[in-house]
Amino acid sequence: MRYFIKLSYHGKDYHGWQIQPDVISVQEVLQNAISKLLKKEIAIVGAGRTDAGVHAKQLFAHFDFESLDTSNLKNRLNAFLPDTINIQNIIPVKKDAHARFDAVSRSYEYKIWLGKNPFLLDTTWQIHSKKLDITKMNEAAAILLKYTNFKCFSKSKTDVFTYNCTITNANWTVKGNLLTFHITANRFLRNMVRAIVGTLYNVGIGKISIAEFIHIIESEDRSKAGISVPAQGLFLTEVSYASSIYK
């Protein structure tokens, strides 16, 4: 049988989701834990990968095993795993359901704290001195929905078959000192959200105009876009699937 694991994690202690040599990852920690509890080598496939230091409020992964008590396994895993990883649910799905390939959309948030807050150092990018024009940043963000090729925001030397993504939502909200960028798309390129935020930040401080923002997208040139903002402000917030994958 195939199962989806719905989980969340704080990314500070991990070198991202994906297993890599000589560093600790969320996938490795989870895979080792479930293999020990089920007393069998289990391979886990995630919906996608997050970079080192990035957090996930919701991520799905799948694994195969014979029939099991999902509630009992969830509780045992949460008792066994470090506090930085939480299993929200384990769900039986159809045998060909795939956590990565069946995802229809993914959503991220990027959090900026306008000022200084020592208690949010691990979960926000803190800007102490720059004033941002949020209206201009939202005007630029809306332009993203008019394009599909985002090569200019992709990490260089990335091996992908296409730079095309369909963005369905991109906007900034403000609550007190917390500025949050929300973005949803069918897929994302490596480093894409952090590069978009870095470029929108340049719009917000007046370094580039709306016209220049458009030119950057159309150039397909990563060197023209803004910096890749710090990882700790980024959260994967939702991965969506068609209801047909569930039993």
Instruction: Write the DSSP string, 67-114.
Output: S--HHHHHHHHHHHS-TTEEEEEEEEE-TT--TTTTEEEEEEEEEEEE
For residues 189-199, average pLDDT? 96
Which residue is catalytic, options 13, 22, 51, 133?
Answer: 51
Statement to judge: residues 139 and 163 lie in one domain: yes
Name the CA radius of gyration of the chain, rounded: 19
Statement to judge: residues 127 and 230 lie in one domain? yes
59-109 pLDDT, tens digit per residue, is: 999 999 999 999 999 999 999 999 999 999 999 999 999 999 999 999 999
Residues 21 and 94 in one domain: yes
Task: Provide the pLDDT confidence category of residue 196 given band limits of 50, 70 and 90.
Answer: very high
CATH number at residue 223: 3.30.70.660
3-class DSSP assignment, residue 124: coil
**Does residue 213 lie in a domain region?**
yes
Domain boundary among 101, 125, 145: 101
- What's the CATH number where 88 sits? 3.30.70.580
- The alpha carbon torsion through 171, 175, 176, 181 (nearest 10 deg) reads -30
Of 49, 66, 101, the one marking the end of a domain is 101
Residues 133 and 114 in one domain: yes
Residue 222: is its pLDDT beyond 90? yes
Question: How many domains does the chain fold into?
Answer: 2
Q: Which two tokens stand for residue 60?
A: 């799905």
In a domain, 247, yes or no: no
Domain check: are 38 and 136 in the same one? no
Asked if residue 242 is part of any domain, the answer here is no
What pLDDT does 155 receive? Answer: 85
Please say whether the beta carbons of 204 and 132 come within 8 A.
yes
CA-nearest of 217, 127, 124 to 170 is 217
Same structural domain for residues 114 and 18? no
Cβ partners under 8 Å of residue 144, min gap 6: 150, 167, 170, 183, 196, 217
Domain containing 19 equals 2-101
On whether both 94 and 167 belong to a single domain, the answer is no
- Domain membership flag for residue 243: no
Q: Do both 91 and 114 map to the same domain?
A: no
pTM for the full predicted model: 0.95
Q: Tell me whether residue 51 is one of the annotated catalytic residues.
A: yes
d(CA 86, CA 18): 17
Report pLDDT digits (tens) over 86-98.
999 999 999 999 9
Q: Is residue 173 a part of any domain in this protein?
A: yes
pLDDT of residue 247: 78
Residues 177 and 218 in one domain: yes
Q: What is the DSSP letter of 151?
A: G
Same domain, 219 and 113: yes
Neighbours of 32 (CB within 10 A): 15
Pair (23, 93) in one structural domain? yes
